[in-house]
Amino acid sequence: MAQILDGTRTAALVKEELRQRIARLGARPVLAMVLVGDDPASASYVRMKTRDSAEVGIEARDFHLPADISQDRLNALIDELNADECVHGILVQMPLPPGLDEEEVVARISPAKDVDGFHPENLGRLLRGQPAMRPCTPAGVMRLLDQYDIELDGARAVVVGRSNIVGKPQALLLLQRNATVTLCHSHTRDLPAICRTADILVAAIGRAEMIDASYVKPGAVVIDVGINRRADGRLVGDVDFEAVVPLAAAITPVPGGVGPLTRALLMSNTLEAYQRRLTASLA
């Protein structure tokens, strides 16, 4: 039976460390969160991020805008937040309602305040191996792997899914740690066979329980980034947990795996944005 990689416990450790560091600052980093429209899932994510902020001592400022807001008005709010010295991190919850351009929004946020790590400059810096704000989900996966002392150097890692926010940066972060990385996607041939070469398999596809036992080498570490709601209402990952747990060495559950770490790393990025700004203003 696989060891369960406990994301809730690891996130609690990360947040406790952040809470202590922020308490020592004697000031509260400020995170501006912009929610456009009334998508219930997005609203629920923002609520959870607000709760995490309160736990660690970050001040969350919520900006709730109507779904029919114009691109110009949204851009104007981002410009205002970029210019506001009291705001250290900016997050615009995705997806945006139809008619709004996500690429434009991502590129408009100041890279120094881009706590999601989505800005082209931050992604470019990541590609070049320079210090950068790292996207929270893949950074959270790395934190979880480190928490459980999973050897990355020389390991074969397979990432399934090539999104800009998970798959691509995940591959880069694993590469930085000297894993041999294969990045797979919907056009990949013989996907199960490639996945079976993985010592570390990261599933970030967005298809409920697609990764079954035929994709997993006995003894592999399986990281499930997916969050899918089944017809019966149950939350499941991209991995068929019951089928894979008997043969994996270690596996993340859903919920309670990668999700809580994504939010903990958002808090960590917000503190980093605060500290970098402070260092820049002292220099």
**Which has the closest alpha carbon to 73: 33, 94, 100, 95?**
100
**Alpha helix stretches (DSSP H) within 94-135:** 102-108, 120-128
Six-digit token pair at 244?
């894979």
**Residue 145: C-alpha distances to residues 5, 42, 66, 96, 223 (Å):** 8, 27, 39, 31, 9
How many residues contact ligand GUN, by CB under 6 A? 6
Least separation in angstroms between CB 269 and ligand GUN: 11
Site string for ligand GUN, 24-63 (x = CB under 6 A): ----------------------------------------
Q: Which of 116, 199, 238, 272 binds ligand GUN (CB under 6 A)?
A: 116
The reply to whether 49 belongs to the active site is yes
In the chain, what are the helix, strand and coil shares in percent, each to the nearest 5?
45, 15, 40
Q: Does position 92 bind ligand GUN by CB under 6 A?
A: yes
Query: Pick the catalytic residue: 15, 93, 113, 114?
Result: 93
Residue closer to ligand GUN (CB basis): 65 or 94: 94
Residue closer to ligand GUN (CB basis): 52 or 116: 116
- The per-type count for the chain, helices as H runs and strands as E runs, is 10, 11
Least separation in angstroms between CB 35 and ligand GUN: 10
**Which has the closest alpha carbon to 49: 110, 7, 91?**
91
Q: What is the Cα–Cα distance from 243 to 56, expressed in whole angstroms?
A: 37
Six-digit token pair at 168?
């691509």
Q: Does position 258 bind ligand GUN by CB under 6 A?
A: no
Least separation in angstroms between CB 94 and ligand GUN: 4
Sheet arrangement for strand 250-251: 3-4, 250-251, 221-224, 200-203, 156-160, 180-184
Query: Pick the catalytic residue: 116, 199, 224, 240?
Result: 116
The reply to whether 20 belongs to the active site is no
Q: Does position 114 bind ligand GUN by CB under 6 A?
A: no
Q: Does position 238 bind ligand GUN by CB under 6 A?
A: no
Handedness of CA 40, 42, 47, 52 (dihedral sign): positive
Site string for ligand GUN, 153-192 (x = CB under 6 A): ----------------------------------------
Residue closer to ligand GUN (CB basis): 94 or 210: 94
Q: Does position 136 bind ligand GUN by CB under 6 A?
A: yes
- Which 3 state secondary structure label does DSSP give 266? helix
Least separation in angstroms between CB 151 and ligand GUN: 28
Span from 85-93, 126-134, 151-159, 236-244 in contact with ligand GUN (CB under 6 A): 85-93
Q: Does position 94 bind ligand GUN by CB under 6 A?
A: yes
- Which 3 state secondary structure label does DSSP give 234? coil
The reply to whether 93 belongs to the active site is yes
Q: What is the Cα–Cα distance from 213 to 136, expressed in whole angstroms?
A: 28
What is the set of active-site residues?
49, 93, 116
Residues in contact with ligand GUN by the rule CB under 6 A: 91-94, 116, 136
